[in-house]
A and B are shown apart, each in its own frame.
Chain A
């Protein structure tokens, strides 16, 4: 009998310890989510009634479909570029060339800097009076006018890469550094040159790390809000579209905004599930 009460008490303590976390989860995530879902099915500006109009309106509008496509192009483009930047960079950082501590610090900079500051700096750097264009005008022949980068799609992708590549890079680097050096030595002893070791031994082994990092970069780029808000110009991905619905019209279009937000959340979850499934299938255990 005392044993029963003891386990009962222990369960109660565990629940009590978990209570703040669960309260935070339900109060600040699940309930607001449900509220957004309910709101997205209400007719605009009304408290009662159910309708699908908010969804059909956005999804049948060519602009709406372009916004969804744009969000995917931006997120996938920046993820691909981040992987292309991160893999050579983490291989170099692992080699511990002189000054590698500084470069490691540079990798972390975009993580702790507010996204707006990064975007502001990049706007100044790529702008018509920035150093990038000054360099092109001065040293590259056949460039007689500033190359437009700001407020274009490739400029926006570059901003995303600057801000979100550390997710891929840090994960790849930690996968590389936890690799057993004996495996590479075994490859070299078996007669593979350093390129073959990299291609057939190291890369397959760190693939799970690269994939995990690219998922994080993708999620950050898909949900990016502050950067496209100031650096996007006419290119408005989904989060900016949501904010536009509640900031520009008076009274605010809360139902339309909620519908777009829900479409966005569903797209992200579905895409992530597919991506992880694909990654798991192509790379066995990960």
Chain B
């Protein structure tokens, strides 16, 4: 397996961005660093970053590496090299999904949530006055996420 690969993909539909080449080392922190630097240099907004990342990086990788089955990108982490286990490469791809997909969804959650709270100041005041109203999720979130990936019968609620 080559350590360094270059993938080339066309810009997203309607994008003014010209044809780009992204170089990175798969399965390494350099991958994230190179992606972040690549987008940061072009001063893309977060939404544009995730959009371009999906079309320019994630889909080309998935198609080239054979992670996707019948065009379904979401099955990337369920293509084990050993039955019952998540492959290392699948885990890397899934981690990227987790990081970037989670970035956009959490940003949307926080923004929307704050808007609704500010729209109802009496509700917001309750939270500010009593922090016990915040439910404490498990601190072991990474292990729970991996367990969710590896289990054939993932929990419907954690």
Are A and B bound to each other?
A: no
